[in-house]
Homo-oligomer: A and B are copies of this chain.
Amino acid sequence: MSSLQAVLDQIEKDSQPALDRLFEFLRIESISTDPAYASQCVDAADWLVKDMQSFGVKAQRHDTPGHPMVTGHSGAEGANLLFYGHYDVQPVDPLELWNNPPFEPLVETTASGDVIRARGAADDKGQLMTFIEACRAWHTVHGQLPANITFLFEGEEESGSPSLVPFLKQHADQLQADLALVCDTGMWDANTPAICTMLRGLLGEELTITAADKDLHSGMYGGPAQNPIRVLTTILAGLHDPNSRVTIPGFYDGVHPLPEQIATQWKGLGFKADEFLGGVDLSVLAGEKDYSALEQLWSRPTCEINGIVGGYTGEGFKTVLPSKASAKVSFRLVGDQDPHLIRKNFRDYVQQHLPADCTVDYEDHGASPGTVLPLEDPAFEKSRMALGEEWENDAVYAGCGGSIPIVGYFQEYLGMDSLLVGFGLDDDQIHSPNEKYSLKSFQKGIRSWARVLDSLAT
């Protein structure tokens, strides 16, 4: 029996305990964006430390001004690898749309197979545990890991990662590796694994417009007095032209046309935009005119309003002219778009459209550029083969519409590329109510990492 086969057998044997461990982890309400859940974030970090120690990893919690970082190290001969994941999860509102409590995980049988239902099941607790379980099995069988592996987990991925860059700078020596492994992406489809080689960056902005110094009665002031909601909607509505192109000057600087060979590969994927949209009850592409769905999602930048609030929003009606109105706006970035320049140009645009008597305040919610990974590194092709063996189906190189800022940070601060392998599916509802992770993703994900580690170690 090969050393790999013994590990795969051990994974099978340990299947139920692995699920139990994941459930324990999922029960911790580690919502990072809401300060009310700070102690639960610490609990999640401690849980990881203890779990890694149980199979010989030298793990420890590092407190930060925000939520803790967790590191672990397990020395062995062979490749130097750094594994990254995040233990924090998204908020759960609107809570009333969940069919069962978000932090009480369960396995549910659905038309497309068994799923693990809970906040964080896919993003990212379930995913990161696929790697940990692979390592545990390897350690159980061989008494050590197949490579020299460093673990890094953060608890602020869903809230802009404010502590991450300082931590990377401070611990650059200990975190150095040949390649980072990141498990926070998806499969191409339920049977086709994927390696993500192109990611969009993310720029987050919050703007608050103030007109009068207090809320006013629309009967006593309506007409003469400026309404900040009207100002805000006018500014936001102007961010796109009728073809859904972003109007901010210079926005498309650094956006390159898709290379012919990538465009051809993507066309060959047989992506069905109607099915993709139909899955969420939509039917028409809403992005930039004349681009395919995959291009809109993977290779084109966007501007989205992620939240807006102003005035009276409770039950009934209140004829108020509010003093303030605010919105959260994000930009997905690609190629060589410069996040800092775009933030500046966005603010200039807002300022130029701000009428008399209004002021604007901003909150910076982080910025990371887009990323393209080096397919010429042999680790990519080795991993693609390993994944293909587990899933009995060729793995594809894909783009990713989301942002994994860590990839840019690893490049910038540790000079290291990232191999992005994950087992999420499009319908995992990772930032929505009823988040799930396919049980098959979890189980074959563990086996996939065992195979990838084997391929990279040798």
A residues adjacent to B (C-beta < 8 A): 32-35, 90-91, 93-94, 97, 158-160, 186, 200, 202, 204, 206, 211-227, 229-230, 232-234, 236-240, 273, 276-277, 280-288, 293, 296-297, 300, 302, 304-322, 325, 327-328, 330, 332, 355-357, 365-366, 400-403, 426, 429-433
Contacts and interface: CB of A to CB of B under 8 A. Distances in A.
Given A33-B317, A202-B319, 18 more contacts: A35-B315, A94-B215, A159-B316, A160-B317, A212-B282, A213-B281, A216-B432, A219-B400, A220-B402, A220-B430, A223-B288, A225-B277, A284-B356, A306-B318, A306-B322, A309-B310, A317-B365, A317-B366
Contact of A328 (B214, B236, B317, B355): B317
A224 B34 contact: no
A314 B363 CA distance: 13
B217 A402 contact: yes
A345 to B, nearest CB: 19
A307 to B, nearest CB: 4
Contact of A224 (B273, B309, B317, B366): B273
Number of copies of this kind of chain in the complex: 2
Given A222-B297, A316-B365, A356 B283 contact: yes
A402 B401 CA distance: 49
B240 A237 contact: no
B332 A218 contact: yes
A223 B319 contact: no
A401 B221 contact: yes
A314 B91 contact: yes
A300 B97 CA distance: 43
B357 A304 contact: no
Nearest to A282: B357
29 contacts: A33-B316, A35-B315, A97-B214, A158-B318, A159-B316, A160-B317, A212-B282, A214-B429, A218-B306, A219-B332, A220-B297, A221-B280, A221-B297, A223-B296, A223-B300, A223-B332, A223-B401, A224-B273, A224-B287, A226-B282, A230-B305, A237-B238, A282-B357, A306-B321, A307-B318, A317-B366, A318-B328, A319-B402, A320-B431
